[in-house]
Amino acid sequence: MNRAAGIVGVAVLALSAAACAGGDAVDGRPQGMSGTSPTSATSPAPVRAKYTALPTCRQVTQRVTGLPPFRSGNEDPSVSDMLTGCEFQRIPDWPRVNLQVSAWRDEKSDISGPAGPGRGALKAREVYDVTSKPGADPADDGAAEDVEVGEEAKWLTPKDRGSCALIILDVNAVLILENKPADKPAPRSQECRGPLRELAKSFYDAVQTP
């Protein structure tokens, strides 16, 4: 699988160096024995935000094919800094498909931390990881290894098991795709997850350009 390599948060790299050997004993070390310098830690540069704007639901509808008719949209963020959430359904029939992308800016601060490079990626990672915590609904249902967009992707299953969802992390954005078929098949079935696999690439491509 060829995912984009990403760094979210602060990674610590431990470096060790050998002291030069030779000459007489130094600090009690016999001749020829090398010493190890104290471990030092360095942090890579924070990952700058990739997404600075998002497309509207109208633009998503134009760019992603194979969807039911557009039903409603939400572009008013509450938890994130930017949001585009679009619902597609042929009323009163099914299936219902929800496509949502949320993103966080580097230059915005909030109660959890200051503005600065890496802030957006950190916030996106926190949201992506929360689905793996005990009691989450929908909950982490395993890596989506055959979805080759973004940095990471995993399946989500709600407690009522009436739908299936795919969540994708990509730098400072989180994409969520949900499928609720008419006959409520098993959330892990091809009937439920198959359409999301097909939509993942086109939806990901659609949000690259606002």
What is the full DSSP assignment across 185-209?
Answer: --TTSHHHHHHHHHHHHHHHHHTS-
CATH number at residue 157: 3.40.1000
Is 183 contained in some domain? yes
Q: Convert the pLDDT of each residue in 33-78 to its tens digit.
A: 344 444 456 667 888 999 999 999 999 999 999 999 999 999 999 8
> In sequence order, what are the residues at sequence separation of 6 or more whose Cβ sits closer than 8 angstroms to the Cβ of residue 73?
56, 57, 58, 84, 85, 86, 87
Is 180 contained in some domain? yes
Is 32 contained in some domain? no
- What is the domain extent for residue 202? 57-206
Is 52 contained in some domain? no
Is 37 contained in some domain? no
Is 20 contained in some domain? no
Nearest to 198 by CA among 166, 175, 169, 160: 166
Is 129 contained in some domain? yes
Contact 118, 148 (CB under 8 A): no
Number of domains making up the chain = 1
pLDDT at 206 over 90: yes
Q: Report the C-alpha gap between 192 and 182 in whole angstroms.
A: 10
Question: What is this structure's pTM?
Answer: 0.77
Is 74 contained in some domain? yes
Q: Convert the pLDDT of each residue in 140-182 to its tens digit.
A: 999 999 999 999 999 999 999 999 999 999 999 999 999 998 8
